[in-house]
Copies of this chain bind each other. A is one copy, B any other.
Amino acid sequence: MTQTHINRKNIDEMDKRYRVNFVNSLPGLKSLNLVGTTNAQGQENVSIISTLTHFGSNPPLLGYVSRPDSVERHTLSNIRELGHYTINHVAESFYKAAHQTSARYPRTVSEFDAVGLTSELRNDCKAPFVAEAAISMHMQLAELIDIPRNGTVLVLGEVLDVYIDDQLLGADGYIDLEAAGTVTGSALDGYHLPQKLGRLSYAKPDREPSFI
């Protein structure tokens, strides 16, 4: 297979749109989630993120990257204000609506209404859940970490509650993402369904991995 070598000078000289597609393709496939927030006046907001990442299981800690100058700015300012937010897996049944939340709506417009998703309040969480999601979490802000290199902010939160469709949770704690219809993303605008190859046994030096 012939390979192309693209060096840093090539990347720096790319047309902006080309570079954004290219560099956003580099990590590989991404998680896709909707973040639900509200401000002190009760104005709800929902926006798609592709950077949600596991930071630890005990305590359960998830982080995502926010650009202060992007459409996520309402979300970030709501999270600062309230300290709570929701995270909801994007599924095949509503991924087009999820994508549409990235449009630059005015602050007074609820993206729930604009894109046709259903806002739902649960228990004591003031931030809205996406009713259509099979897997949702109530998050409490743990820390905002500034990334000086490019002015982004890492939003770290602890999982307080998980809501999950009954049949998705396996006997060993593994969640069946194919059955959930959870989608995965590429670059800025690619959407994909997962097709399971299998689960592999815990790796040990003295044996080959096998399917579990």
Q: What residues of chain A have their CB less than 8 Å away from a CB belonging to chain B? A: 1-8, 11-12, 14, 16-33, 50-63, 65, 67, 87, 89-90, 92, 95-96, 99-105, 109, 114, 122-123, 134-135, 137, 142-143, 145, 147-150, 152, 154, 156, 158-166, 169-170, 172-175, 177-178, 182-184, 186-187, 189-205, 208-209, 212
How far does the alpha carbon of A26 sit from the alpha carbon of B64 in the complex, in Å? 13
Known: A154-B154, A174-B186, A174-B187. 4 other contacts (CB 8 A): A6-B163, A19-B58, A23-B58, A26-B62
Which residue in chain B gives the minimum CB-CB distance to A65?
B55
Task: Supply 26 A–B pairs (Cβ within 8 Å), ascending by A.
Answer: A1-B134, A4-B166, A5-B122, A6-B162, A7-B161, A11-B60, A18-B172, A20-B57, A21-B170, A25-B174, A26-B135, A26-B159, A28-B182, A28-B184, A53-B53, A55-B150, A99-B203, A103-B205, A105-B205, A174-B186, A177-B192, A178-B192, A187-B199, A190-B196, A191-B199, A192-B194
In the complex, the count of this chain's copies comes to 2
Q: What's the nearest-Cβ distance from chain B to residue A145, in Å?
A: 7
8 tightest Cβ-Cβ pairs between the two chains A and B: A21-B173, A28-B31, A25-B175, A192-B194, A22-B173, A18-B173, A29-B184, A23-B57
Q: What's the nearest-Cβ distance from chain B to residue A150, in Å?
A: 4
Q: Are A55 and B209 touching (Cβ within 8 A)?
A: no
Q: Which chain B residues border A61 with CB–CB below 8 Å?
A: 149-150
Majority secondary structure, A binding face: mixed
Q: Are B209 and A159 touching (Cβ within 8 A)?
A: no
Q: What's the nearest-Cβ distance from chain B to residue A43, in Å?
A: 16
Which residue in chain B gives the minimum CB-CB distance to A58?
B19
Q: Given A20-B173, A54-B65, are A198 and B191 also a contact pair (CB < 8 Å)?
A: yes
